[in-house]
Amino acid sequence: MSARAARAVRPVVGPASIGVDAAPGARIGTARPEPVSPFGAGQVVGRDLGPFELGSGARLASLRVAYRHDGPGPADAPQVLVIHALTGSADAAGDWWSPLIGPGLALDTERVGVLSANLLGGCYGTTGPTNPDPATGVPYGAAFPAISTRDQARAHWALLDALDVPGLALVLGGSLGGMVALEVALERPEAVRSVMPIAAPATTGALAVAWNAIQLALVERLGEDGLALARELAMTTYRSEADFDQRFGRAAEADGTPSIVSYLRYQGQKLVRRFDPDTYRTLVGAMDRHDIGAGRGGVGPALARLADHGVRLTGLGISGDILFGPQQVRTLVDAAAAEGGHARYVEVQSTKGHDAFLAEWDALAAILRRVLDEALAPRPVLSPRD
Catalytic (active site) residue 175: yes
Strand partners for 215: none
Backbone angles phi, psi at 53, to 5 degrees: -95, 135
- Active-site entry in 175, 194, 240, 350: 175
- Active-site entry in 84, 156, 290, 354: 354
Nearest-10 Cα torsion for 86, 376, 300, 282: 20
H or E stretch covering 312: strand 312-318
3-class DSSP state for residue 17? coil
Catalytic (active site) residue 354: yes
DSSP 41-93: --SEEEEEEEEEE-TTS-EEEEEEEEEEEES--TTTS-EEEEE--TT--S-II
Catalytic (active site) residue 70: no
- Active-site entry in 321, 342, 350, 355: 321
Q: What is the DSSP letter of 36?
A: -
Task: Tell me the CB-side half-sphere exposure of residue 31, using CA atoms within 13 A.
Answer: 0
- What Cα–Cα distance (Å) separates residue 242 from each residue in 7, 44, 87, 317? 37, 36, 24, 17
Strand partners for 347: 317
Q: So which residues are the catalytic ones?
A: 175, 321, 354
